[in-house]
Structure formats: C-alpha cells, structure tokens
Amino acid sequence: MAQAQRAFIFDMDGTIVDNMAFHTKSWLAFFERRGRALDADAFFRDTAGRQGHEIMRLYMGDHLTKEASAELDAEKEALYRELYGPHLETVPGFDQLIATAQADGVALAVATAAPNDNIVFTLDGLDLRKHFKAVVGAADVARGKPNPDVFLLAAERCGVAPEHCIVFEDAPLGVEAARRAGMRAVVLTTTLPAEAFAEFDNVICVARDFSELNIAELFAAEIN
C-alpha cells in the first residue's frame, strides 16, 4: 500500500469533542478547593493546549516536584472526567469527515496535550482510536503547545511531511503550535470566536463544526 502523502492532525479537547467548558469548570473547582478564585476566560486564554504539569507550575509555582504535580494532575483530571462523562460525544460532522478522509487516503492522527487517562476516556469511550494512524499525547513529548513537538511527532508517525498536514484546533496556542510546525490550521469555533484567531497567517478555514468542511477545498487552500 502506498504511503499516505497527506494527513489530518486533530487536537482532541475542544476539537474532536466540545468539552473545554468542562475542563475549565474542573480547573476552577480544583483551585477553589485551594482557596483561589480564577477568571474563566483569562484562564482559558493562558492555558488551552498546555500540559497539566505546565499549568500546575504556572499557577502553583516552580517549586512543585514532578511527583507532586502528577498527584495534583490526577485529582484535577478525575474531576473533569466526572463532570464531562455524561456529555461525551463527537463534534457534529466529525465522524463523516474522518470516514471521507480515510476513503480519500488521508492519514489521520490525534495530537493532544491530554494525559493518557483522558485519551483513553475520550478515544476509547467513543471507539475512535481504530481510525488513527498515530495518537500523540502529553506523555509522548516534553513540551506542550505552543511548542510544535506534538504535531511534528504526529506527522512523523504518519510518515507525512509537515507541509502536507492540516491541523484542526480550537485554541490559539494550538494554532501557534501548528504554525511553528509549518502546518496549516483549520479553526473550530467550539470554544472561541473567529476573531480570536485573526493574527494567524496559517489559518485556512474557520468553521462552527466539521459539517461545514470540504476536504478537497481544504487541501487546495493549503497550497499557495
């Protein structure tokens, strides 16, 4: 079988599933337990796409050991899964888009800042893992978004050059990571309005959900 020459790389949280409000709620509840009130909008802007341990150190201090951070991460993510579990479903149009992409020979990958437990919760909970040639998470790279590591590793595992990959994202830090990886990006406005992405020159399309997207048009837009 010929190696795929094109790939779609999907962020998971806020992109495959519309769950970022639940992540934010769980973070706010986590910090509220510790007597700290945070602004939800500012917190999302500063953290979406970052790994859990990066967020912990950002808000709780660089003194945190790796072990202490891991314990706190586990508490927060368990709270998130409890809140979001009853609502777990894909964003409209996702299942049809990936079916069409696979039929067209497009390699599919997930590149997320999520820990493995959340990847299992989402991808296996929705029986999606079988569709992806690569699944890259927080445990696979040292740095979260806006660093490009997670997208570059996904492309490498798919055997597709970065310039032939299109990233699907819902957060500015993720779009910036795609830009640094040399990849074009499709923005879903599940979490933020289109205006939040106006500064990025690698955005080729903005959509409410996957049902608005046309694969041929996306790859045509990728080529200047």
> What would the two tokens of residue 213 be?
């997207």
Token pair 């959509």: residue: 207
Of the residues 13, 73, 149, 170, which is catalytic? 13
Which amino acid is present at 5? Q
- In sequence order, the 6+-apart residues with CB closer than 8 A to the CB of 173 are 48, 49, 50, 145, 146
Which amino acid is present at 191? T
| Phi, psi dihedrals of residue 211, rounded to the nearest 5° | -65, -15
- In sequence order, the 6+-apart residues with CB closer than 8 A to the CB of 4 are 105, 106, 107, 133, 158, 159, 160
Active site residue 13: yes
Active site residue 117: no
Catalytic residues: 11, 13
